[in-house]
Structure 1
Amino acid sequence: MAKKKNDALMAALRQFVRTKGADYLRDGNVSSIGIGYKVEDGKQTDEIAIQFTVKEKAEESALEALGTEPLPKCIVVDGVEVPTDVLQRDYKANFQVVTERSSGERKSRIDPVVPGISLSHPSVPAGTLGTIVYDRVDGAPYVLSCWHVLHGPNGALGDAIVQPGPHDDNRTDLNRLGRLVRSHLGAAGDCAIASIEDRRFGTEIVDLGVTVEKIGEPELGDKVVKSGRTTGVTHGIVRRVDALVKINYGGAVGEKEIGCFEIGPDPAKPGPGGEISMPGDSGAAWMFKAANGKVTRTMAGLHFGGETNGSTDEHALACLPQSVFEKLGVTVKPPKKPVGRQKGFAPDFLSVPVGLPTLGAVAQADAVLLGGSEVVDYTHFSLAMSKSRRFAFWVAWNIDGKTLKTLNRSGIPFILDSRIPPEFQVGDDLYKGNRLDRGHIARRADLLWGSLEEAEQANVDSFFFTNITPQMDDFNQSAKRGLWGRLEDAVLADVDVDDLRVSVYGGPVFQADDRVFRGVRLPREYWKVIAFVEQGVLKARAFILTQNLNQLEALELDEFRVFQVRLSDIETRCGFTFPPSLQAADSLAMPESLDDRQPLDSLESIQW
């Protein structure tokens, strides 16, 4: 019971930092906020606290002169009074290279390249190659490091990346490794990836002898180890989690707020000169250690910074790998078979062809374009994305009932599609620390058909955030949600469907007054159209999941219900039109008045 209570408190504290942390960082003297053990008389206690760090600590009477205000002595979170802790500490990204501590091998030109060695943008002195990662879509291998190592204030996507960094070998024209492919600097981390074009590569981290095979989330007290370009192998203990740190990156970039966790030295395994990290280590992968002290194959974080010069408090900062991998669209393992452009929704899948919806003028202007088209293809499904809402207007998918397979979903992460700008997608930040579920639009189970290779790729593709919408956990798991989620099964079971083939369309209904949460408007209605051929005749049946068909009468506390509707009802709500063949196939007669239509109470009440 005590553990559950503590877990609930930690979840509430994480939510507090993520939603309120940026407000405190507006104070120029506050350098970070996070969760850690309270420090008294220079010693760590076992009391959980919300920890603030400040650039300059002073008596309350002197704060006004510093242009700052007193921080609260405690904060009430979820009804629990949590103490605060204020430490004097400032942070910096490790731009400059100082005294060397590592072997020359890390700073030489190496082929194959491996994690733990020097590399950087030609305008940056040097950093560390953290690990080898793979593109989520096509399986291309990349090197992972920090934004301020591979991009920096003077860099741009497409620039050359060199190994080693110019501080270690200034013959940059001879040391090209690849090019800068993607980068991010913000709440999700300080991170970037580059291609590997002029070398081979290995995956074992120098002097650790392990390959990153998994990513994890650190907890207070976890023991970790890293292998960096400057200090080599150093050991640490996680002492703050879910921190939000303010760092000045200089130039036009200026101050940025970076989500991270903090690592202190492991007193049982002190580093050279007591250092846990130094400039040039940025980009190194922090790895979890097992209880027996051995290095695991699970990555805890991406090292990106530490204390400012002159600080006596030795520590390191690392980005959370899940956020980094999501932002950059990469994974730790390559797909079983790298794939190119996927074969999406097939219009001729049924014996009577059916096409895709056509967006209206307003929706078309808001659509994300990929190669000049709003249609984005995946394995067995296609979709069109809204820039402003950051969810799909529609998703269309095919189901082959004859070759459906059962596959495990274990270990498949939800991830952004690297082909689409991240600002046009809603990622995992929306779902952390609350009751929102990630709900598939195209059901994962519907897509697992064809050859085993096809089904496995479809399984992975179904977890792109482009195919996800937010739903409350009780809604997502309710009996009515179960009815909604079984419509595709019902048509295959209850209707003599030709060739056991079905095409399905679905998505959210966007409304101007949808509730805003964390800057995202949450859809409160969903629609679905099921197309099938019965005895050579094309049929289309439409459904809406809503609290009330009459939107003016919907109340926040109304129960969600499934209604059978006309395709024209969905077109009116969503601002697009279905193909003429589908419109003609919608032959059901039903009351014109929305108030006269009754919700479905079971699958048996559906009119197929």
Structure 2
Amino acid sequence: MTISADTADAGYDPAFLGPEVPLPVPADGRGIRELRYPRFTVVLDPVRRLAVTTAVNIDGSALRDVPRTGDWRLDERIPASEQAGPEIYARNDLDRGHLVRRRDPGWGEPVTARVATEATFRYPNAAPQVNVFNQSKDLWLGLEDHVLAYAEATDARVSVFTAPVLDADDPRYRGLQVPRRFYKIAAWADDGVGTLQLRSAGFVLDQSDVLRLEAEALAVPPLAAFRTFQAPVADIAALAGVDLGPLASADVLATTTARGGGDWRPLRAAEDISLG
């Protein structure tokens, strides 16, 4: 089911980079809600009540420093029972983790940029993240900026796909299975031999070591760590159960096995990222 409020909510544009990059969808054909917002789309799993993927177009040459406005609210186009709403985040150490970052769709004309950034404050675009994880993730947030800077030598356009990995054995809290891992894939195009060549880079962030959910109670271990990896896009597709189309074959991470997978590279700083 594709849901768009009006013509302004055109959603993610598959042709934004030049080479076509279709909106990722679950590989198992499960029922979804495709929610379109200005310049981004959330593909929601209404059973898990969380996104199975999100996709946003970013024009780095036209980004604006838009003041932070907007409040978290449910998306009125779908039932509240299909969304992980405010009750998940009340009186605990869970943050509403933006999937599409607030500033990502904030480009172009000032009014359009402001409307687009405010649209990111919808619960389908959030996932629960332990606060020490969410507030300490400078590297995770900086991945898109790093790729955008790399792409700026060409057309400064990037499309980014972010979501939790919805594992069947994720721990349950207040009736919601809380994801332990998240993935992010950045895609851009650079000049090949007479044509634009699609490139991609994939990342996985793991909050398993800081997530303690027992008997509907949440506990955050002190000084706990989370882990960030650059991972083969093909591995991410298998891990998340999402059809990533041409993104796997466009991966800049050198592969090391016959099946097309490769080493997972632990990241401690932006300098550890490989962009080809």
TM band (smaller chain): 0.7 to 0.9
2:189 is matched with which residue: 510, 521, 533?
A: 533
Q: 1:587 to 1:603 in 2, by over 3 A?
A: closer
CA contact 1:491–1:497 (8 Å) conserved in 2: no
The yes-or-no answer on 1:577 pairing with 2:246 is: no
Deviations 1:92-121 (A, max 9, x none): xxxxxxxxxxxxxxxxxxxxxxxxxxxxxx
Counterpart position of 1:421: 79
**Counterpart Cα distance in 2 of 1:563 and 1:495:** 21
Amino acid at match of 2:238: T
Q: TM-score when scaled to structure 2?
A: 0.85
SS of corresponding position for 1:503: strand
CA contact 2:25–2:53 (8 Å) conserved in 1: no
Cα shift at 1:515: 1.6
Q: 1:351 to 1:365 in 2, by over 3 A?
A: closer
CA contact 2:232–2:263 (8 Å) conserved in 1: no
Cα shift at 1:340: 4.7
**Counterpart Cα distance in 2 of 1:602 and 1:470:** 24
CA contact 2:232–2:264 (8 Å) conserved in 1: no
CA contact 1:542–1:564 (8 Å) conserved in 2: yes
Amino acid at match of 2:251: D
Counterpart position of 1:223: none
**Counterpart Cα distance in 2 of 1:539 and 1:360:** 22
Deviations 1:160-182 (A, max 9, x none): xxxxxxxxxxxxxxxxxxxxxxx
| Residue correspondence of structure 1 range 117-128 to structure 2 within 5 A | none
SS of corresponding position for 1:409: coil
Counterpart position of 1:394: 53
**Counterpart Cα distance in 2 of 1:376 and 1:358:** 12
Cα shift at 1:476: 0.6
CA contact 1:527–1:542 (8 Å) conserved in 2: yes
| Residue correspondence of structure 1 range 218-229 to structure 2 within 5 A | none
Deviations 1:308-329 (A, max 9, x none): xxxxxxxxxxxxxxxxxxxxxx
Cα shift at 1:434: 1.0
**What are the ranges of 5 or more consecutive residues in structure 1 without an aligned counterpart?**
1-136, 139-338, 369-374, 549-555
Counterpart position of 1:357: 24
**Counterpart Cα distance in 2 of 1:517 and 1:340:** 37
Counterpart position of 2:37: 378
Amino acid at match of 2:102: R
**Counterpart Cα distance in 1 of 2:80 and 2:225:** 33
Cα shift at 1:603: 0.5
1:586 is matched with which residue: 251, 262, 268?
A: 251
**Counterpart Cα distance in 1 of 2:115 and 2:106:** 9
SS of corresponding position for 2:49: coil
| Residue correspondence of structure 1 range 452-601 to structure 2 within 5 A | 452-478=110-136, 481-535=137-191, 536-546=196-206, 559-579=225-245, 581-592=246-257, 597-601=264-268
CA contact 1:381–1:397 (8 Å) conserved in 2: yes
CA contact 1:497–1:532 (8 Å) conserved in 2: no
Instruction: Give the RMSD, CA atoms, in angstroms.
Output: 2.4
**Counterpart Cα distance in 2 of 1:577 and 1:415:** 29
CA contact 1:343–1:379 (8 Å) conserved in 2: yes
SS of corresponding position for 1:444: coil
**Counterpart Cα distance in 2 of 1:603 and 1:529:** 15
Cα shift at 1:351: 2.1
Q: Where has structure 1 moved over 3 Å in runs of 4 or more?
A: 494-497, 590-598
Aligned length in residues: 254
**What are the ranges of 5 or more consecutive residues in structure 2 without an aligned counterpart?**
209-219
CA contact 1:544–1:565 (8 Å) conserved in 2: yes
**Counterpart Cα distance in 1 of 2:60 and 2:263:** 35
CA contact 1:385–1:394 (8 Å) conserved in 2: yes
Amino acid at match of 2:117: N
**Counterpart Cα distance in 1 of 2:179 and 2:262:** 22
SS of corresponding position for 1:571: helix
Cα shift at 1:578: 0.9
**Counterpart Cα distance in 2 of 1:450 and 1:538:** 24
Cα shift at 1:402: 1.1
Q: 1:496 to 1:451 in 2, by over 3 A?
A: closer
SS of corresponding position for 1:533: strand
SS of corresponding position for 1:486: helix
CA contact 1:591–1:597 (8 Å) conserved in 2: no
Amino acid at match of 1:430: I
CA contact 1:502–1:531 (8 Å) conserved in 2: yes
Q: 1:422 to 1:384 in 2, by over 3 A?
A: same
The yes-or-no answer on 1:439 pairing with 2:97 is: yes
Percentage identity across paired residues of the two chains:
37
Q: 1:500 to 1:431 in 2, by over 3 A?
A: same
The yes-or-no answer on 1:409 pairing with 2:74 is: no
Amino acid at match of 1:589: A
CA contact 2:75–2:123 (8 Å) conserved in 1: yes
**Counterpart Cα distance in 2 of 1:398 and 1:597:** 26
SS of corresponding position for 1:392: strand
**Counterpart Cα distance in 1 of 2:91 and 2:72:** 16
Amino acid at match of 1:432: A
Q: 1:604 to 1:519 in 2, by over 3 A?
A: same
The yes-or-no answer on 1:450 pairing with 2:108 is: yes
CA contact 1:437–1:476 (8 Å) conserved in 2: yes
Cα shift at 1:498: 2.1
Amino acid at match of 2:40: F
Amino acid at match of 1:545: L
CA contact 1:341–1:377 (8 Å) conserved in 2: no
